[in-house]
Amino acid sequence: MRHLLSTADLSQAEAIQILDVADQMAATQKREIKKLPTLRGRTVVNLFYEDSTRTRISFEAAAKRLSADVINFSAKGSSVSKGESLKDTALTLKAMGADAVVVRHSVSGAPHRLAHAGWIDGTIVNAGDGTHEHPTQALLDAYTLRQRLVPDAIGADLKGKRVAIVGDVLHSRVARSNVTLLNTLGAEVVLVTPPTLLPVGIDHWPCTTSYDLDDVVNGGHGDLDAVMMLRVQRERMHDAFFPSAREYSRRYGLDARRMNRLPEGALVMHPGPMNRGLEITAEAADSPRSTIVEQVANGVAVRMAVLYLLLSGQAEGKDA
Amino acid sequence: MSPARPAQSSPSAPEDPPVVNDGVEVVRAVLEPAEISRALSRIAHEVLERNKGAEHLVLLGIPTRGVTLAHRLAARLASIEGTEVPVGTLDVTMHRDDLRRQAFRTIARTDLPEGGIDDQIVVLVDDVLYSGRTIRAALDALSEFGRPRAVRLAVLVDRGHRELPIRADHVGKNLPTSTLERVRVRLSEVDGGEDVVSITGGVAK
């Protein structure tokens, strides 16, 4: 594995390996001294063309806990606002000797372009590109699911687990990455969304779909092990996809009433940032079922695992 | 070169001199189950003698086979001295200095005994001592968990070719080898079958 661009590139063994390494990384984060010397002398660049809190901080913490040097780049306040192209920025980073570039871009496929255009030597990690993929988010969701739902987690997949992903699937790279990864790990996925927010070509996705959240919550597609709420991405919505926020919230929001009808032990997940009151109520978000804060903590461990896996043994890979 | 024992796993291999033919590797068993067992018993006695008893001892095995050896050693210490010596696991992968050059290494658990290692006598246990880089990594890893009063090193096999100023305090067997050879340790708990230490292949021309 040289780059992490899409969860579709991961085999089941590779995905489980990342989760297993993340488990060990999480164990190191319970120690008094959290920093490990593993990536000493390597440089990780966070190249963020789009706003982010969690993902950027999480990648920065992960790289720093592994002793890598971190350079943060955000498009705002950089030469990008003077009109510099992605290529020229990439060439600059190459000249500075970046070993890994963590990239978030509003255009789908930008990380793929960076990885394959030959502008840059380093490893590319996709931290979210447009409405395409967000693989580390899917990995940390899978890690959280496995940790909470599988008793003997090391080496295990998610066979037999059923996860509903609810909300704005059309604009969600999290949903796309999650459907692929959960399917790779053997879990079943039900997408619940208004018809207007269902992407084209959904028939080819390895999942089932529904327009009725109540039916799914009541077990219409089988008992759920987790419900993953997606953020309504207003910044990407240039049309009216639903009549009103209130109607969306009534039909597709997770409130206490719906949450309490879920099977016992079923988890409530959200990749963040949340629109409290729109897709999820405060009651649901702050309930004991909610793994939302846990997901953020797990994000650091998973990203440490990804950086470790991509950056170790690299010299050998270059010779070959 | 240590005297070769006829290899049990490849009876057709020529005994003298051992040669490598078209990828067919010669395997020589150098330590057999009884010898491994005796070496461990001796190490157990040495550890106790050096330490004047089992007090403040903590055994830390380096995965994978060092952990098995640490547990076996602890069982012997218990039968000799009658006290339980805490055993732990110390993974050193993330402290290695060759991560960049070697292919991906899996990370094993680190489990320290409840009492920790502060002011204890830590005995690191590993199967083969070679370049000394694993032990250097172990010493670094150890410093993250506390400050032992002393750190000692027990290994089943010392094969020489040190690249760092590190030596073992307790050695099961000194095994002079060529750098082209591979020393393999098989332990029944990990690998199944009988315990055996063998040298594989790589005879210089």
| Domain assignment present for B114 | yes
According to the model, what pLDDT value does residue B6 have? 41
Instruction: Tell me the three state secondary structure of residue A248.
Output: helix
Helix H or strand E segment including A301: helix A292-311
Closest CA to B148 of B131, B178, B123, B114: B123
Please, is B79 exposed, middle or buried when counting C-beta atoms within 10 Å of its C-beta (0-12, 13-18, 19+)? exposed
Q: With a cut of 60, say whether residue B204 has pLDDT above it.
A: no
Helix H or strand E segment including A176: helix A173-184
More confident residue, A293 or B100: A293
Detail the DSSP E strand segments found in A40-79.
43-48, 69-74
The CATH number covering residue B99 comes to: 3.40.50.2020
B142-200 pLDDT per residue, tens:
998 999 999 999 999 999 999 999 999 999 999 999 999 999 999 999 999 999 999 98
According to the model, what pLDDT value does residue B98 have? 84
Is A33 within 8 Å of B105 when comparing Cβ atoms?
no
Q: Which positions ≥6 away from B108 have C-beta within 8 Å?
A: A24, B63, B64, B89, B91, B93
CATH 3.40.50.1370-classified regions of chain A = 7-133+298-319, 135-296
The confidence band for B3, taking pLDDT boundaries of 50, 70 and 90, is very low
B55-90 pLDDT per residue, tens:
999 999 999 999 999 999 999 999 999 999 999 999
| Domain assignment present for B57 | yes
Cα distance between residue A90 and residue A78, in whole Å? 13
Domain that holds residue B157: 27-200
Q: Which parts of chain A sit beneath pLDDT 70?
A: 314-320
Nearest to B99 among A24, A32, A38 (CB): A38
Chain A from 31 to 90: CB within 8 A of any B CB: 31-33, 36-38, 66
Q: With the C-alpha atoms ordered A214, A220, A221, A225, is the resulting torsion angle positive or negative? A: positive
- Phi, psi dihedrals of residue A223, rounded to the nearest 5°: -65, 135
CB crowding B128-141: b at 16 or more within 10 Å, else e: bbbbbbbbbbbbbb
Cα distance between residue B182 and residue B185, in whole Å? 10
Contact of A115 with chain B, judged by CB distance below 8 Å, is answered with no
| Domain assignment present for B11 | no
Contacts B107 to A, Cβ<8 Å? 21, 24-25, 308
User: If one looks up domain A135-296 in CATH, what number appears?
Assistant: 3.40.50.1370
* Token pair belonging to B194: 């009988």
The confidence band for B127, taking pLDDT boundaries of 50, 70 and 90, is very high
Question: What are the distances in angstroms from CA A72 to CA A46, A108, A294, B80, B151?
Answer: 5, 21, 25, 59, 41
According to the model, what pLDDT value does residue B12 have? 41
According to the model, what pLDDT value does residue B19 have? 46
User: Interface of chain B against chain A, CB under 8 Å?
Assistant: 91, 94-95, 99-110, 140, 144-145
Which spans in chain B are helix H? 33-51, 65-81, 133-143, 188-191
| Assigned CATH topology for domain A7-133+298-319 | Rossmann fold (3.40.50)
| Domain assignment present for B21 | no
ipTM field: 0.73
